[in-house]
Each structure stands twice: as structure tokens, then as C-alpha cells.
Structure 1
Amino acid sequence: MSQPEQTTGSRPSKRSSHDPLSTDDGRISVSQSVVSKIAGVACREISGVHAMGTSGGRAVGAIRERIPGSSGPSFSQGVGVEVGETQAAVDLDIVVEYGISVAELGRSIQRNVKQAVERMTGLEVTEVNINVDDVYLPDEEGQDTQQRVS
């Protein structure tokens, strides 16, 4: 826990209006895991995001989901965050559905994640970086994948 600001004699009267996490009654801190979950959910809300995480992380996540008693999918999979006292930065690893504009999808994700984290935590999001790790290609169901010999 950080030490309160030292003053000569009395407690500081008014906190800066730029810091919604600091009040006359004390300080509110938000953990990295909270920001990770919020960012992960906000990213998954955007149509065109097929999955999140690097290929290795997705494989481990798929195995973990199959273990009886596990808590299910991790909402913070594919999310990295740095959280300071008043700001946060978010890094996302995603898999994009084939045919989706990566640039448009990225802007939508950035906007949604920034709004969700700022609204729910009071932290200023300084950046949302997106790494497109893979493209999801849907199975070609109903098509014969073997070559025919005449």
C-alpha cells in the first residue's frame, strides 16, 4: 500500500479533480487483474474477434477448460496490462475472423476497451495495443477435401 502524501500539519483538503480515484476519504486502487478482465470482455464484445491469446496460450486455455471443476474460460487470456495510480495501458493478442478488416476491427476494439476500462475503473487508458496473432478460417463444411480421380 502506498504511503499517503505528507503535509505539514494537516491532511490535504481537496484532491485534484483529475484523479477520480483519490478522495478526501482515501484512495481507491484497481488491480491489474480487474483491468485485464474488463479489457478482455470488452474486446470479445466486438464482432470479428474469434479468439484471444497467442497460439500457445489458446492451447493451454483449451486444456484448462476441459479440466473438471475449472472456472471455465479465462477472460484475461490474451490481455496484458500495466496499471499505475491513475493510468493504464492495455495490450491485446487476438485472432481475427477471415474477411474482417483488421484496421477497422482494431479501431473498434481500441474504442470499446478504452471506454469500458475508463468507465468502470476511473483510470485513464493511455493506449490499447493490438497484436493480430492469427486469422480464423472457417471449415469448408460440405465440400469434398479429397481429390477425385477419374
Structure 2
Amino acid sequence: MEVLALVGPSGTGKSFRAINTAHEYQAEVIIDDGLLINGNRILAGQSAKRQPTRIGAIKTALFMEPGHVQQARDALAALKPERVLVLATSHEMAEKITGRLGLPPVKKYIAIEELASPREIRKARIMRTQYSKHVIPAPTVEVKKSFPDTIIDPLQVFMRRKEPQGARGWLEQSVVRPTFTYYGKISIAQGALAAIAARAAKEVPGVKDAGRINILRRNDGVVIDLSLTIYYGQVMYQVSRLVQESVRRRVEEMTGLQVVAVHILVKDISLDPRRQNEAGTG
């Protein structure tokens, strides 16, 4: 099985171009926002756009719920597609999705800038930010199963068939307004993110204090810097690795944000008071 990934920031038109891209590269399955789509059918999954919060939407898109990911794995195992197209906001997100679904590593990355002009990308961003319009690359009759109480607009996508005559065919996809847009924007304070990261770091044996925490927000996720104080006698690179994994896991599980990187600086070494007490009583 080959895996392709269409990558670009949120709201740049990836879903709108998914059908044509899958057709061009002969990908049988599109994986987009928690859904597995095969031609004009939704095979499995849950739409992230149906979630009541943005955090829930991100978790759904990453297949973080056990039941959701198992349903998708079973559908892929039954279909056995030769080629799959994954839509993601970054290479890291594509890798997380393929890892969760047990798919091979991505063979080819396709940037949205290769398919859309700057003008088209700006227009897509306006439709997303001002009108909260999102595209699902599946027919309206299929999408209504997930959005039964929502007005859904059909959108026809024309594509050139691979025939000598160059005949044009079309497939339908849908425009929806996700549930989470009804409640306005939800943001997570820097202090809350820092508190989660600090607690995750201190859960690692050998860490005395997480120190100063700096968080950089990017379009594709967050970068977290920590200045650790660890206890004397610890192997620094081992403790640092454990802290990186603990912080990444905790932040992603509790907020749904994607952690792009966790940078560790061991700023200080401290004596473990337990060892001091043991030495004093020996």
C-alpha cells in the first residue's frame, strides 16, 4: 500500500481539492478530518466537523479515540486499497494519522501550494474565517448521515477523465458549517498550556522542577521549551527524552493541540533530599 499526503495549513482548500488529487494519483481512499472516503461513500469514521468543540475536532481528526481508530483500521483492512491520500496540516500530523491507523510511512507529500494559486488560497481562507464554510469530499446524501440537522450545500467537482477524448466527469462533495463554529472561538491560555507541560515534566522520575516554560504557537501546532532542574546522578539525555514524551502526550491528550517539538535545556542539577537523608542516617 502506498500513502500520499496533501499538506497545508487549515482553511487553504485541501478538502476542496481532495477528490481531484485522489483521482490524479489514483488513490482509492481519502482520509480527511476523521473520515475514510472511498469514491462516493463514507466507509468509516466520524467527522471532526461534527464535534462540539475545536479540541474535540482535532482529536477526531487525529483518530485519538480507541473505538474510532479501530473502526477505521477495520475498514482499511477490509478494502485493502493500493493507494491512500491523507489530508493534514503538516508532515507531523500526517505521520500521526498514519501511525494511528497502522499505515506505511508517507511516500509522497503534496503541498497545497502545488495545486492552488495564492489567490485561490486567500479565497479559501476567507470562506473559512468569515463564513465558517468547510468542505467534506463526499456526496450530500452521505454527509447528511453525520449532519442530520444541518443545512448542507452540494458542490460539484469537475475532473478530466483519463481517456483519449479527455471527457469530463464530476463528483459531488458537500459544504457544511461545523458544529464547533456555533459556539464562537475557543482559545487555550498560555498559562494553562505551561501548567500542563510543567506537571507532565515533574511526573518524570529525576525531575525536580520544570523551570521557565516558553510556548510558541504556530499554524501547525505548538513548540514548547523547558529549562529543567534534575537531581544529581540522573542520566540527562534519558530524563530529557522521557520529559519530551510526557509533555507531548499530556498536552495533546488534554488540549487536542499538536505538539511540533519539545526542546529541553537542563539548566541546573540538585541534590536529591532523599539521598541526603539516607547518607545522614547511614
State the TM-score, normalized to the length of structure 1. 0.62
What's 2:197 paired with?
39
Alignment partner of 1:50 is 2:184 = no
Letter in 2 for 1:33: G
Partners of 1:52 and 1:94 within 8 A in 2: yes
- Structure with more helix by fraction: 2
Larger Rg: 2
What's 1:20 paired with?
none
Alignment partner of 1:13 is 2:134 = yes
What's 1:113 paired with?
247
Alignment partner of 1:102 is 2:260 = no
Alignment partner of 1:133 is 2:255 = no
Alignment partner of 1:124 is 2:258 = yes
State the TM-score, normalized to the length of structure 2. 0.35
> Offset of 1:132 from its aligned partner?
0.6
Letter in 2 for 1:7: M
> Offset of 1:85 from its aligned partner?
5.0
Distance 1:86 1:120 in 2: 17
Alignment gaps of 5+ in structure 2? 1-124, 137-176
Give 3-state SS (helix, strand or coil) of 2:126's partner: coil
Partners of 1:32 and 1:83 within 8 A in 2: no
Q: 1:93 to 1:11 in 2, by over 3 A?
A: closer
> Offset of 1:30 from its aligned partner?
1.8
> Offset of 1:87 from its aligned partner?
0.7
Alignment gaps of 5+ in structure 1? 16-22, 54-77, 144-150
Give 3-state SS (helix, strand or coil) of 1:35's partner: helix
> Offset of 1:101 from its aligned partner?
0.6
Identical residues among aligned pairs (%) = 28
Q: How does 1:80-95 map to 2 (within 5 A)?
A: 80-84=214-218, 86-95=220-229
Larger RCO, structures 1/2 (Cα 8 Å, 6+ apart) = 1
What's 2:187 paired with?
29
| Aligned length, in residue pairs | 109
Letter in 2 for 1:106: S
CA RMSD after TM alignment: 2.8
Distance 2:232 2:194 in 1: 26
Letter in 2 for 1:110: Q
Q: Deviations over 1:40-63 (max 9, x none)?
A: 11001101001232xxxxxxxxxx
> Offset of 1:11 from its aligned partner?
4.4
> Offset of 1:39 from its aligned partner?
0.4
Partners of 2:230 and 2:270 within 8 A in 1: yes
Distance 1:93 1:109 in 2: 11
